[in-house]
Amino acid sequence: MSKGRLIIFSAPSGCGKGTMLAEILKDERFGVSVSATTRAPRTGETEGVNYYYLSEEEFQRRVDAGEFLEHAVYCEHQYGTLNSEVDRKLAAGVNVILEIEVQGAADVMKKRPDAITVFILPPSVEELRRRLHKRGTEPEEVIEKRIAQAEYEMGFAGDYKYNIVNDALEDAVSDFFAIIRAEELRTDINN
């Protein structure tokens, strides 16, 4: 069986990353790497499915033991990709998606230059603002903070091999599969 491909998948909040991933994961050739984090589980989240929830001490112990492919701080919490999680799934022939923020992504790009790197963009910052308002879950100042964070993250979009604008979900998902197909057909890395 051939090994799976490593895929970095980054997007600012409000870009529809979760919905896109849910569609992609209906295809059994794809799986996600479950990350470790020190943040508390949100309602509806499950240990080992959404994240491995670790204490600060346990997270640090694993950093020291070299267990992470990458790790980064985001909104005052630690997040990291476990080597064991990625290697096990790649060996099983699964295309492994890392749903990670831009700093961790930059580390993985250095360590694994063969990774397929995809950044999801909103159609515009105005549209992002409209979507976050429509969701109606956050107060105005939190929305503005998220937009500022999104603009910061969008500054890294050019470091990724592929950018997808998520305007219509169906088109964005089909763009993703087109990228994967093109990567499978490359002569320079597949022969």
Residues that bind ligand 5GP (CB under 6 A): 35, 39, 70, 72, 74, 79-81, 99-101, 104
Closer residue to ligand 5GP, CB minimum distance, 96 or 100: 100
Establish how many alpha carbons lie within 13 A of residue 112's alpha carbon, considering only the half-sphere containing its beta carbon. Answer: 18
Both tokens of residue 8? 């970095």
Closer residue to ligand 5GP, CB minimum distance, 72 or 173: 72
CB of 131 to ligand 5GP, least distance (A): 16
Query: How far is it, in rounded angstroms, from Cα 91 to Cα 75?
Result: 33
CB of 133 to ligand 5GP, least distance (A): 19
Closer residue to ligand 5GP, CB minimum distance, 4 or 80: 80
Closer residue to ligand 5GP, CB minimum distance, 2 or 136: 136
Residue closest to ligand 5GP when measured from CB atoms: 104
Full strand arrangement of the beta sheet holding 77-82: 51-53, 35-37, 77-82, 68-74
CB of 2 to ligand 5GP, least distance (A): 25
Q: For residue 189, give the nearest of 92, 80, 105, 113 by alpha carbon.
A: 113
Contact 151, 125 (CB under 8 A): yes
Contact 53, 70 (CB under 8 A): no
CB of 191 to ligand 5GP, least distance (A): 32
CB of 10 to ligand 5GP, least distance (A): 6
Closer residue to ligand 5GP, CB minimum distance, 77 or 133: 77
Could you tell me which residues come within 8 angstroms of residue 30 by beta carbon, excluding any fewer than 6 positions away?
7, 24, 94, 95, 97
